[in-house]
Amino acid sequence: MYKVIGSVKSRTLRVLWALEELGLDYEHVAAAPRSADVVALNPTGKVPVLVAENTPITDSTAILAFLADRHGALTFPAGSLDRARQDSLTQFLLDEFDAALWMAARHSFVLPEELRESAIKKSLKWEFERSQTTLVSRMADGPYLMGETMTVPDIILTHCGIWAQVARFAIVEPQLADYFARMRARPALRRAMEAGQSGAA
């Protein structure tokens, strides 16, 4: 059994969702960032943390890649061209979507109040909308980003879509809005959100 540490209102949701999609057993500890439970396993205090065989793994993307590779799902085989395309999409999403949302969060409530610059959000929203146009041009035909197979980038992007809604970052591409509606209806995501709210799976 895996142990997942972190609040569902964070990137921890990505890990819970992956575990639900993979049909794996896990324990969830709904600890806040920088809490004692988190710092004991990750000195930075960041979540999520996945404990596998008494070994803590940090960073949501690293955790998703580990689970996908280990269980042979949500990914294409290492060394394949499809895997190269998958990893390219992952990096694009982290650079263009996740980074913009995280920067906005930092200047909303993470940084000390005297260091926050509210004006930066305008440029972040502009970049976020431009990135959507680029992403749509890269989306394959099919229900998922890469076509008929759901992969790690789908989890990252959908979580960014949820985050964007909370942060009031507009989704301006209809194709992307349809994608988010489809992905948010997945039973595994709903279970992950419910498990996160209860703190256990």
Q: Say which CATH number the domain at 35 has.
A: 3.40.30.10
Kindly state whether residues 47 and 30 are assigned to the same domain.
yes
179 and 111 share a domain?
yes
Q: For residue 150, is pLDDT > 70?
A: yes
Contact 82, 144 (CB under 8 A): no
- Does 54 share its domain with 130? no
Do 110 and 28 fall within a single domain? no
Cβ distance 1 to 25 under 8 Å? yes
Are 25 and 37 contained in the same domain?
A: yes
- Residue 34, pLDDT > 50, answer yes
Q: Which two tokens stand for residue 121?
A: 């959000």
Are residues 10 and 65 both part of a single domain? yes
Q: What's the pLDDT score for residue 198?
A: 57
Mean pLDDT of the chain: 95
Number of domains forming the structure of the chain = 2
Query: Are residues 102 and 178 located together in one domain of the fold?
Result: yes
| Domain co-membership, 16 together with 53 | yes
Alpha-carbon dihedral sign for residues 40, 41, 43, 48 = negative
Domain with 53, as residue range(s), is 2-74+188-198
User: Is 152 a residue whose pLDDT tops 90?
Assistant: yes
Same domain, 109 and 18: no
Phi, psi of 78, deg, nearest 5? -60, 140
* Confidence band of 195 (pLDDT split at 50, 70, 90): confident
10 Å CB burial of residue 188 (0-12, 13-18, 19+) is middle
CATH number of the domain within which 143 lies: 1.20.1050.10
pTM, whole model, 2 decimals?
A: 0.95
State the pLDDT at residue 63. Answer: 98
Are residues 155 and 194 located together in one domain of the fold? no
Decide: 168 and 105 in contact? Cβ < 8 Å. no
* For residues 122-138, average pLDDT: 97
Same domain flag for 109 and 136 = yes
Q: Average pLDDT of 165-185? A: 98
Q: Are residues 86 and 179 in the same domain?
A: yes
42-100 tens-digit pLDDT: 999 999 999 999 999 999 999 999 999 999 999 999 999 999 999 999 999 999 999 99
pLDDT for res 71? 98
